[in-house]
Structure formats: structure tokens, C-alpha cells
Amino acid sequence: MIIKPPSEPSSTREAMSSSHGRCRRIATEEAFAVPTWLDAMSGLSVDGSEANEVRFLRFVQSIGEWRQGLIDFDHRLKIMDDCGVDMHLLSLTTPGVQSFAPDQATAIARAVNDELAGIVARYPGRFAGLATVAPQQPLAAAAELERAITTLGLNGLLINSYTNDEYLDLPKFDPILAAASSLGAPLYLHPRTPGPSMVKPYAAHGLIGALWGFAADAGLHAMRLIMGGAFDRHPELQVVLGHMGEAIPFWFWRIDNMYNKYNSLGAGPAIGIKPLKRLPSEYFKTNISITTSGVNSHEHLRFAMNLLGADRIMFAIDFPYESSEESVRFLDTAPITPEERHSIYHLNAERLFKIKPAL
């Protein structure tokens, strides 16, 4: 859908040089919520194993701008139009359904996916969607993913990192990875606050959330998938990480170097390293894409492009938690070629998530 520019250009639009051309803008990590889920989350205890997530959601709901952004789609569309954002790829905000008992989580996931499909249908061309599944019941989650992709027409799935302090590299979760691989459904691996087994050192100094803990959690999870052999078992599986790759690209050289060093010394098995078919960074470069969510830095974008190439990076805002105007201005003014800008803004998302190109 082509959006008409506002009568008075915003600073965001002014920042885009006419030489860049008008890119379709698809934002790929954009949170939403629905009353069914909000009501269920409000019933969870702040003293249970999911206390950190319950407290975080209550904090979110205390900030009117964030709460409205999650649930009011007309308000969302106005912000999108003001900033020239054509489409949001919607995903249920953290922690999804991973805080609930298994049967309840599976039922809520199904209801949320039905509501999400309705939202996509209600606003043609403006939204696409990532399915919610309940890893608490892996076989049911795989079945729900198939329904979401083949029946509801959603574009992939998002899982909020660990479930009950367990990560997706464990054999019990293999049905989910197998389904995602066979369906060609990208898995967006979204952070949570660090799990119960690692949260204590993060609880001070504001480190539990997006300042540091989110990246530590999601980065650990992605490294477990790589080092656990998930991509050897499922070579077609595609995973997406936000926040410029949760810092993993910065560590490529050291990760590969230490993997080789431990194995050359014969120490790999002693510390739990499994033999892989390729170097760890090579899996990242072929099976993991990253988004710009929450990292509006030209220096970091150039670093990621040098390591991964423009075809492995997608635009994201992290709405409503980050500024749409700032995010658009960041990519509009990035010192990259028009071809690279089109790839990052929309072509990569269209290809990976099977989003129809604009007419």
C-alpha cells in the first residue's frame, strides 16, 4: 500500500534525501497485545516463577503511550503514517504465552493467532503477523504453527527465549524447530529477562531488561542453538535476532577461535562442546538474520553489514517501546547505497517472511 505524504513534511521525511528514492518500509519487530492475553496475564502472581515478567508487564501498562501502542491499532496506524512506515510485522509482546500452565498457554496461543489473523485481514496491506505458540507443549505448538501458516496465512513465529528455564536446543523442543523448518517459517527469537537460573546478578543496577539482560538472554539462546547442533539437524531453519544480532557478530572471531582451539587440544568433549559440521559463525551467516530494532546507530549498521552483508539485515522499530521517527530517520540517513537501503527496508523481509511486494 502506498501512503500519501502528509501535507506538512515531518522531520523524518525531510531527512530522507530525494536521491535515495522512496523505499517501502516494513518494520519487523513490532509488539501488540489483545485483551484475551492481557486479562490472562493480569491473573498471574507477582510472587511466582514468572514474577519478573508479570512485574514488567504491569510496568508497561503503567505507561500510557506503551499500552495504547500495544492495543490501539488506529493510533498505531497514525504513527505509521506520520513516519512513512508502510507495514508492521506484528508479534505478541513479551513474554507471550510462556508464563502459563501448558493447557492454558496452548489455548491462549490459538486465540491470539485467530485475533492476529483478523487484524491483518481488517487492515489490508498494513500488517503481517508472527504466530504465537506454547513451547510448554511442543507437539501442540508444532501443530498450531502449521495451522497459523497454512490456514491463517501468518508469516512465521516468535518465541520469547526460554520456557520454564529451558531453551530450544533441547531435544524436547525439536518438533517446533522441525515444523518451522519444513514450513519455511522463520523463527524470531525474542529476549526475555534472564531466566530463574541466571537472573540474580542482573537484578541490580537496571541490568535485568533491555539495558543488558535482554541481550544476554537472547544471545545465550542463539548460541545454544548453534553450539547444540540445531542447524545441523535442521539446515533449512531460519532464525531472526533483533537488536543487531544481540551482540553475537562482535564475538565471531573469538567464538570461532576458541571453538577451534578447544577442539585442537582435545578438550572439547570435556567442556561439553559438540562436534559441528561448520564453524559457529558460519551458521550465523547462513541461518540467522538480524534486525535493527532498538539500535539506531550508523556505526553498528556498517559493522553488521561488513560481517553479514545487507541481505541478512532487516529494518525494525520495536514499537511501541522505541521511537518510530528516530528509527526511520536512522535508516533514511544511513551512508549506504540505494540498493542496500531497499534490501534492509523491505526486500529482505518480503523474501524471508513471504510478504507480498507492494503493488
Choice between 203 and 4, residue whose per-residue pLDDT is larger: 203
pLDDT tens digit sequence for 119-128: 999 999 999 9
Q: Using CA of residue 34, residue 39, residue 40, residue 46, what is the dihedral sign? A: positive
Sorted by where each begins, the domain ranges of the chain are 22-353
Residue 117 neighbours by CB distance under 10 Å: 17
The pLDDT value recorded for residue 14 is 42
Catalytic residue among 86, 169, 217, 318: 318
Please say whether the beta carbons of 218 and 190 come within 8 A: yes
Quote the longest CA-to-CA distance of the chain: 67
Kindly state the average pLDDT of the residues 44-53.
72
Choice between 264 and 63, residue whose per-residue pLDDT is larger: 264
Report the range out of 60-69, 208-217, 264-273, 289-298 with the highest average pLDDT.
Answer: 289-298
How far apart, in whole angstroms, are the C-alpha atoms of residue 42 and residue 50?
A: 12
Percentage, residues of the chain above pLDDT 70: 93
318 has catalytic annotation: yes
How far apart, in whole angstroms, are the C-alpha atoms of residue 247 and residue 304?
A: 10
The pLDDT value recorded for residue 49 is 67
First vs last Cα of the chain: how many Å apart?
7
Give the pTM.
Answer: 0.92
How far apart, in whole angstroms, are the C-alpha atoms of residue 188 and residue 130?
A: 8
The pLDDT value recorded for residue 21 is 59
Q: In what order do the strands lie in the sheet with 157-159?
A: 157-159, 187-189, 239-241, 288-291, 313-314
Query: Which secondary-structure segment (H or E) carries 176?
Result: helix 174-183
Answer CATH for 22-353 from 3.50.30.30, 3.40.50.970, 3.20.20.140, 3.20.20.370? 3.20.20.140
Kindly state the average pLDDT of the residues 191-213.
91
